[in-house]
Amino acid sequence: MTFFDAALWDGKVFTGDWATPSGGSTEILEKATGTALGRAGVADAGDVSGAAASAAAAQRAWAATSFEERAAVLRRAGALIEANAAELRDWVVRETGAVPGLADFAVGVATQECYEAAALAHRPAGEILQSNQPRLSLLKRVPVGVVGVISPFNVPLILSIRSVAPALALGNAVVLKPDLRTPVSGGFAIARVFAEAGLPPGLLHVLPGGADVGSALVTEPAIRVISFTGSTATGRHVGELAARHLKRVHLELGGNSAIVVLDDADLDRAVSAGAWGSFLHQGQICMTAGRHLVHERIADDYVAALAEHADHLPVGDPFTAQVALGPLVDAGQRDKVHALVTATVDAGAKLAAGGTHDGLFYRPTVLDEVRTDMPAYAQEVFGPVAPVVRFGSVDEAAALAADSAYALSLSILTGDAMRGLALAERIPSGIVHINDQTVNDEAVAPFGGILDSGTGARFGGAGNLDAFTEQRWITLRGEIPAYPF
């Protein structure tokens, strides 16, 4: 049996051990071929309360465990991911449709998330506060208790473990709901790693399921914090439901990120960066460059070169062939992407490259002569589509880039970095990259969007401390003071 053998979770969920859920089971499909890779258990809302109760019971002892023991579990988890990286990469490739390079990146980030979480356990547990009274005044950080994590299909390994690892390191238990389309790299593989790393039973539960399971996580009284990554529409529902239950929620939502190419940018490198930002992982990344804003002086050359890049990128099965793009996640996503492209062309845009598909394999697409009201520009496509809009001045570029409900990632490409930084100050965005494209991630960096892209940056050391602990005020006096009554 291999480390991530599908026989482990055949028709099961993880509740400290592999168990049969109430909702039956479903096939785990290879996205490129439709081949069944195994079966996953499907949880229902009734499974959530049992998992939450078990997690709450286990969490109390875990919170009392020394920081050194918690850190050691996280370090062992990171080492196990490293030791089994090739097998985990193959699961990511086959289950999500990622090319091997992206899968290797995901495995590497997952490893680092565990190591950074181990370091997080060593952080000071609080601070000494000033007081105008003769007493010792302290702020102590305490675990929130049980954390609910809801992760999406696109890069599920990273988007699950970036919440699971720090939450566990800080003394919490976790109930994780991965997307039903990617239950292994989004959940079961993580459960396997932590079980082998020595995490005590009951602290991590993995319940693949539908919207009913997500809603049950949010409304379950024993779960005190929700970390959600997914679409803005679903995130609004999660946020509203959490508010009704007075529950803290962290939302990492959609994006329609702009890449701004100024007239002094190196054109060849700008085109390469633009292609990477729009076409990596078939555009199924929240940070994907969904709007290319290009100075009118260089726009014709930019579009021609970007279209040439798109035409020469190989598309196919990333597990068996050397390709640049793999499949979209399912037919529904493909149809959504194609509908947006078709509607934009019908509205008058020029199809410079792509716009066709073979099954779930969608050709990288470049759209020129785009207006800001066209669907593929105004909406998040979540596919390999690069709409290009021209601008004539820096003021116009700032206005165009800022004219979006989303504000996740921003790229500015220029020969003058300080000029780019000054422009970025005029555009709301949770993340800014000067002279790089929009898709970047590091375990040590804060991550998150504002406006319709989420509730702000959270990940990274200090952000995770705030996300997964409560702040308790404690005072100590040498003797009880005398009061007037």
The catalytic residue positions are: 252
- CA distances to 8, 298, 481 from 18, rounded to whole Å, are 7, 58, 56
- SS3 of 241, please? helix
Closest CA to 100 of 326, 275, 365, 333: 326
| Letter string b/e over residues 176-211, b meaning 16 or more CB atoms within 10 A of that residue's CB | bbbbbbbbbbbbbbbbbbbbebebbebbbbbbbbee
Burial class (CB in 10 A: 0-12, 13-18, 19+), 472: exposed
Give the H/E segment covering residue 265: none
- SS3 label, residue 259: strand
Query: Which among 31, 28, 94, 27 has a CA at the least distance from the CA of 328?
Result: 31
Strand partners, 205: 175
**Exposure class string for 36-64: b at 16+ Cβ within 10 A, else e:** ebbbbbbbbbebbebbbebbbebbeebbe
